[in-house]
């Protein structure tokens, strides 16, 4: 098993470490919780553990559905071994229901069902507040080739198919989510994480928010909401 060595990168909620294997990294999920491009940061007990195990569970489900992910092995409560990807600085966003920035941009009602789901691209850049971009920008600026982008879109929509069903069976609405991809020996692979930090999840019956909007909007009970989602899905977090 690859062993952790030096720190490679410290993000808003995770720290990435080199390992003794040049093709592997270790992700450490911290308890840090941030919003508004890092302007607000708090420590929430158990969050790193919940997100790590939640992410591992989801990535396993996606692998079983034929979607390549970077996750290799769960190492501890808050660490996971992953493939080292050459990350593409583009976020792929699918929206099944209107929420967040879409509501603000277009003035539509929150919760409006979107049929078919929308697919959007954003540049991953906190300093620029992750601006919305299009296919032409991605190719012209060399962030990805047209073929790579097409594969990213295909995989993102496949993820939506798989996870919408999974959450629906747990009495939850997958409102929207963002994904990041990278290259591993030339192959497009799903990277980063899938947790309530990077998606919106509502209770189907009450539309209670069970995701990071509880932190953004000061609703409280953030980790408790994450744990409720995990429990409904059958994620082993204890």
Q: What is the torsion angle, in degrees rounded to the nearest 10, for the CA atoms of residue 116, residue 36, residue 79 and residue 191? A: 40
Query: pLDDT tens, 133-145?
Result: 999 999 999 999 9
Query: pLDDT tens, 198-210?
Result: 999 999 999 999 9
CA Rg, the chain, in Å?
17
> What value does the mean pLDDT take over residues 23-44?
87
Domains and CATH numbers, the chain: 4-83 (3.30.200.20), 88-221 (3.30.470.20)
Measured on CA atoms in the order 150, 54, 28, 75, is the torsion positive or negative? Answer: negative
pTM of the model: 0.95
Integer Cα distance of 24 and 39 in angstroms: 31
């Amino acid at each position: 098993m690859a062993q952790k060595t030096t720190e490679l990168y410290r993000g808003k909620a995770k720290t990435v470490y080199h390992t003794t294997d040049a093709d592997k990294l270790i992700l450490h999920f911290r308890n840090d919780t941030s919003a508004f491009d890092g302007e607000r940061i708090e420590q929430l007990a158990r969050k790193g553990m919940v997100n790590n195990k939640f992410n591992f569970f989801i990535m396993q489900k996606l692998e079983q559905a034929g979607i390549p992910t970077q996750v290799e092995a769960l190492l501890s409560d808050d660490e996971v071994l992953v493939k080292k990807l050459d990350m593409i600085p583009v976020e792929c966003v699918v929206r099944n229901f209107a929420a967040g920035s879409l509501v603000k941009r277009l003035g539509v009602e929150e919760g409006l069902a979107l049929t078919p789901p929308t697919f959007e691209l954003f540049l991953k850049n906190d300093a620029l507040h992750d601006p919305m971009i299009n296919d032409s920008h991605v190719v012209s600026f060399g962030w990805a080739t047209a073929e790579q982008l097409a594969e990213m879109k295909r995989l993102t929509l496949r993820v939506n198919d798989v996870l919408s069903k999974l959450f629906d069976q747990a009495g939850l609405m997958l409102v929207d989510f963002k994904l990041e991809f990278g290259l591993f020996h030339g192959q497009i692979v799903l990277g980063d994480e899938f947790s309530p930090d990077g998606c919106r999840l509502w209770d189907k019956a009450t539309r209670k928010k069970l995701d990071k909007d509880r932190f953004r909007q000061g609703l409280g009970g953030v980790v408790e909401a994450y744990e409720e989602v995990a429990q409904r899905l059958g994620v082993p977090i204890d």
